[in-house]
Chains A and B, each alone.
Chain A
Amino acid sequence: MRPSETPIGQPAKDQSASEGPASPRPPCPKAAGSVSCQHCVDFLLDYFEGTLPKDQRFTFDSHLAFCSDCAVYVQNYGKAMALTAGLALQRPSSLPGPVPTGLVEAILDASKVQRG
């Protein structure tokens, strides 16, 4: 799946895997043979781009199912991505529009001075 097909800030597929815990969960279940939280965080970029290999995706999802810390971290990571992307489109005034009178001339004049 191409990254662009994924809504920004959401995992590429199996979005239920990143939903927050309905109730408090036990800490990271190292005893269950899962990857560590640190490894889980290392997977995040690929996870959100949908490029995580299938076996790693399974390992990642398994970890998230039990680790409330990582579930929260994944949610926050997605929200940070969405907030950053939101900068681009949230201001109507940021759309290309009329250029103020004199701006182009001012730039050209300044560039002439700069070039000598």
Chain B
Amino acid sequence: MIEPASNSTIDDQRADRVNRADPLAQVSREHGPDNIKAAAETDQHQESQLLAGLKAGDPSAFEHFVRSMTPRLLGIVRRYTRNEQDAEDAVQDAFLSAFKALDSFDGRSSLSTWIHRIAINAALMKRRKDRSRRESSIEELLPVFQNGEHAQSPTPWPSGMAGQTSGDSVTHSTGLSIKTRAAVLDALQELPDEYRTVLVLRDVEGLESKAVANSLGISDASVRQRLHRARQALMKLLEPALVEDER
């Protein structure tokens, strides 16, 4: 019998970010470091068992993996797709892509983080109207400087974006308007893959930089560089929609 692998990485990290609490510290207070270590070892053992079953083609491993991960993946891909049918298709595509690539999965990240990443990409692909459309070059989306100064003065974005109620930022509780959400998702589509993936995993899904680095097999410094560039490129891509709204 294959036990569930831990699949809490992404949502737990976001909960941490949203609630401003440290779940690890809380668990440590409640259960002590020895129990945490034991729990982590159990998770790792269960994940190894599950992975071995999947790689061996064990039908019960596939069934367990699909049954345990589908609800969570469906919830995640709904953030990116236009409708329920696309969400379901994206989850199916993600599992099939993952199973096809099982042999190349090297265990740097957890199985759940790996398939989350695949599912997000599948969802974004569903959203893409013209799959042959060329992605923008990152260089042409970055700010231009002349003699160290902004070549063009940035335009202030409206302060009342997306139904926010106070301050300069959109709060988690208010969320985005439908129009703004569509603009952000469309802008994400324009980013080159390697930048979009980092931005989505870090800023949307809430993974820590180290987890993103492990998942993608790149250094933490590369994650940070890509993240910074992706944010700047997204600013450039979002600007027409946001500034137009203000007029």
A residues neighboring B (CB under 8 Å) = 2, 4-5, 7-10, 18-20, 27-28, 30, 36-39, 41, 44-45, 68-70, 72-73, 75-91, 93-100, 103-104, 106-108, 110-112, 114-115
Contact = CB atoms under 8 A, between A and B. Distances in A.
A72 B149 contact: no
A15 B147 CA distance: 28
Interface residues of B, number: 69
A47 to B, nearest CB: 11
A101 to B, nearest CB: 11
Given A82-B169, A88-B14, A95-B75, A73 B181 contact: no
A114 B96 contact: yes
B65 to A, nearest CB: 9
A69 B203 contact: no
Contacts, number: 191
Interface in B118-153: 143, 145, 147-150, 153
A103 to B, nearest CB: 6
Given A36-B149, A89-B175, A83 B170 contact: yes
B199 interface: yes
B154 A69 contact: yes
B162 A83 contact: yes
A96 B199 contact: no
Contacts of A39: 148
14 contacts: A4-B17, A36-B147, A36-B148, A44-B231, A45-B228, A76-B154, A79-B168, A80-B235, A85-B172, A87-B185, A93-B78, A107-B70, A107-B95, A108-B62
A77 B235 CA distance: 7
B148 A79 contact: no
A78 B62 CA distance: 42
